[in-house]
Amino acid sequence: MAVAGAVLRQNLPGNMDLCGKTGKGVPEFHVLAVDDSIVDRKVIEKLLRSLSCKVTVVDSGSRALQFLGLDGENSSVGFDALKVNLIMTDYSMPGMTGYELLKKIKGSSAFREIPVVIMSSERILARINRCLEEGAEEFLSKPVKFSDVERLTRYLLRGEADEVSEFGKRKLPKNCDLEVSSPSSPSSDDSSSSLCSYSRSSSPLPKRCKSV
């Protein structure tokens, strides 16, 4: 597909190396991706690798737990598993759903701090709400695009706190109260619509709204 690709390819954004080595000894970010679809596994792996992330891809929730050492077996946790920086999981999977996996991860003292992102082709509000309430950072619509993953890795892995997303929690600056109900980032642009901040304790879904 080189020819067609060359013609139709748009320039990918500069500074592709968002996750990875800067040559100054900064370690790679390690993402664990979970999806039962072989096609989606291939695509998500490539998306993440193109952002210079280290990627581990598994095909089920139970394999993800196995990898993390949370499967209740007396397997020793692999060294790799200790350094997972982000978990991206499909929602609809046979056996264990992404939601069930999310709960297990958030229920573990060792891994609850790892951000978890849910991916789904179905935008069911109750489902999205449930995932966010359970502690998912973000809910991505499938098919997942490069720009989604790039934005995600930028704010989740590099801690660039100004990013908001359609279905994610607003990352507030450190000196802000979690209960504040209007956007408080000093760099937010008043002329563009911005999300109201969303605290875990309340259930309404963040909606696009103009800043007051």
Partner 1 sequence: MELGLMQRRLEDYTKSLFMEGLLDAQFLQLQQLQDESNPGFVGEVVSLFFDDSEKLLNELTSAMDQQIVDFRKVDSYVHQFKGSSSSIGAQRIKNVCILFRKYIEEQNIEACLRCLQQVKQEYYHVKSKLETLFRVTSLLNPIVLKENLKHPLGTDSLSNLCQWLDYFANTSLLL
Residue type, 183: P
At 86, give phi and psi (nearest 5°). Answer: -155, 140
Q: Pattern of binders to partner 1 over 178-207, x per CB under 8 A?
A: ------------------------------
Could you tell me how far CA 87 lies from the centroid of its own chain?
7
- Our CB check for partner 1 shows the closer of 12 and 26 to be 12
Confirm or reject binding of residue 46 to partner 1 (CB under 8 A). Answer: yes
Cα–Cα dist 175/179, whole Å: 12
Confirm or reject binding of residue 121 to partner 1 (CB under 8 A). Answer: yes
Cα–Cα dist 7/201, whole Å: 49
Instruction: Specify the stretch interacting with partner 1 by CB under 8 A; choose among 7-15, 59-67, 78-86, 104-112.
Output: 7-15
Cα–Cα dist 29/118, whole Å: 18
Among 14, 15, 25, 39, binds partner 1 (CB under 8 A): 39
Q: How many CB atoms lie within 10 A of CB 195?
A: 19
Query: Which stretches of the chain bind partner 1, using CB under 8 A?
Result: 1-5, 7-10, 12, 37-40, 42-43, 46-47, 50, 92, 94, 121, 142-143, 145-146
